Structure 1
Amino acid sequence: MTTTAAEPQAPAPQQRRLRTEIPGPASRALQERRANVVAAGVASTLPAYITSASGGLLTDADGNVLIDFGSGIAVTNVGHSAPAVVDHVREQAGLFTHTCFMVTPYEGYVEVCEALAELTPGDHAKKSVLFNSGAEAVENAVKIARAATGRQAVVVFDHAYHGRTNLTMALTAKSVPYKHGFGPFAPEVYRVPGSYPFRDGLDGAEAARVAIDRIEKQIGGDQVAAVVIEPIQGEGGFIEPAPGFLPALSAWCSANGVVFVADEVQTGFCRTGDWFASTRENVVPDLIATAKGIAGGLPLAAVTGRAELLDAVAPGGLGGTYGGNPIACAAALGSIETMRGADLATSARRIQERVLPRLRALASETGVIGDVRGRGAMLAAEFVKPGGVEPDADLTKRVAAACHALGVVVLTCGTYGNVVRLLPPLSLSDELLDEGLSVLEYAIRVEARK
């Protein structure tokens, strides 16, 4: 392992502000209260209790100001407390907070569906249905595909993450902590290899041939209702498939009457430098599941796709009490307004241009980063033991903890627990981005020496 000659120095605080250790005494007191009343199964990455947030900064109960490289797991793409989101929410809350769209509808739901029809890939006739979470969206996409095709089987991929409901747990690959002890799971779910260039060494066409061969031999193309895939895998490790993989799968689906479902819950709404990650290779999903970045922090999700597929479900077959809540719809309209007005897709590409060269240089310097990857503001470093590709989950945890102690919120992920992922708000300033990266670089250099 190579290192620099000089000892690393912690970057001086700028807009980041540390008044206490993190978590500080006020947060620790709240953590004690939490232990008495909150289920132990709910875990928190960093128990610094937040009292306010703005743009790319989080202020905790002790007055510490943290740089946010997590965005609530790719939710606050427009930044915390984005003015248009706040204004739309405030106005709608003063009018009414709920009627249930299935009882007495309202314009905001229709406006969100109109925006989704315009923004999502493809120029075909589209319709949408709104829900509360990404898991709900994915589950309902499967329902729609089964109703439209009359088939049962659903194909998913190694390293996939699709949610925590019973069906989406079955679709998700990783057992601990998402599936362990929660079975039995929904049937007729089949898992095949995906494309993981760092570990499988295959180009996109080769990886697609492996996946399609497995589907045809073990399931049968005429039995498959849907292929469900993240264009860039999220929780599985920010794995971007090799070029050509997604187009080959999409073409196979079209040829075999299979519904191609893109789970863009984490990749959607400018996160990857495009409004949706599928468009990078001109893939047009039949159905697209969205959530997270759609509404600036409020719970909203959608399934959008070919009108004939959505209309294959009989009236009453889709919905939910809170799906498309009017305040969440108002937030989505404010969020979309912000993404358009500030051209946040371009901002995401700017973040990529500033981050990737620094991470790649650090990988060469330290020898503990096996792969640097990602697109837009969905970026990752995969940590390995020096000299090989063996995952190093322990180093990954130490790097994340060191960043947290210095006031930068980073997240980890990956099937092997060895990936640090960066999901800054797309509106984050260059100054805060650079400062947060300096903290990350310092943490990696220090922990790599241990």
Structure 2
Amino acid sequence: MRALFKLAKDLFNAKFYRPSHLRIGVRDYFNLREQQHLLQPNAVHVAAAMAWLCAAQDATRDNGVSARYRLDRGWAPSYPETSGYIIPTLFNYARKVDAAIYHERALRIADWLLSLQLENGAFPGHDVGQAPQPVVFNTGQIMLGLLSAFRETGQHKYLRAALRAGDWLVKIQEPNGSWLKHTYLNRVHTYHTRVAWPLLELWEATSNEQYLAAARKHLDWALGNQLPNGWFRENGFSDNENPYLHTIAYTTRGFLASAEILRKHAIAGEQCERYFAAAVLASEALMHRFEIRRFPFAKYNREWQSSERFSCLTGDAQLAKTWLNIYQVNRDPRFLNAALKINDFVKSTQDLRSRNPGIRGGIKGSHPIWGRYIRYSYPNWAAKFFVDALMLEDEIMAQLDHEIENEPRTALQAA
């Protein structure tokens, strides 16, 4: 009886009496995802997600991007961390559709972020409106956006801010390569490989070896926390918590992006390939489980087992992009095949017809929406990673089409 009362209270608080909310609830309860043959081309889904991201930015008064649309409260305040790494997505989409408005939106975010930088060079965590506290991970993600803005514009104000942030990260790094101070719940995290990545981008931009050394030190520490089956220790948000697919994908992406930069500069050859192999090992384990169950679960324990019955859509989109990135390097068709399937899965959960701008085109935190990851909400980072994954899929498929068209034809094919 108590559980039933709690459910009724949750549904009331999430305002399921509103038609647009009720529609999502009914669809998710009966798992009425869009059928495969009714899915739209990627461009349609991407355009809808980008329109949602623009609505999320327009919902704030500061040029940042609203953290999420919540069924109970509507649009949340801006979230500096994810606004930061939305910047490269906006630049990429601006080039793809040749529309300057997305470029302008990206720079509005970047300029807003400059106004938030703390005196010590760090950037604050949490949504805008909370007391600003420096956070390692958030600082790294904002650096990705600022360095992207620097590459796009050549304006050194973005590089100077990234340098101050990078200096702070180097200064507070632990001797073993981890970060402990100013971290989420004051504990070490292997998903900080996504902080090593912007440090390597900063090294690329400046040739300052301290950023290269700090990044490699952390990557080596994270590598030491990988089990033989690919699972990472210290990868959850809190102690004794099985990691979400979201943070697992953060970790693998950090390894992949770092390996890509080091490989490009012929740095740390053998160690560089170990970083790549670490991402492949974890990704392969997840791919096997996805192919068997046909459903990407939200969390996985150290044996790659899951007791959850919901999916973390953010992590799904991240994982799809990770698999596509791996395919670009090793051309293993299994990763491409699995990525196409998981992209279609996330596409099938996107509502393209809702009249509610907080729902239409957005990506839920969880499927079903009452799953425990960002419950009853549409987070901006889910839409961002979804767009990234679909745009990379289109790029790879176009390249494959080009390769096929230009293959030498045999006499039999010519006939």
TM-score class, shorter: under 0.3
- TM-score normalised over the length of structure 2: 0.26
Which structure carries more strand by proportion? 1
TM-score, structure 1 normalization: 0.24
Higher relative contact order (CA 8 A, sep 6+): 1
* More helix as a share of residues: 2
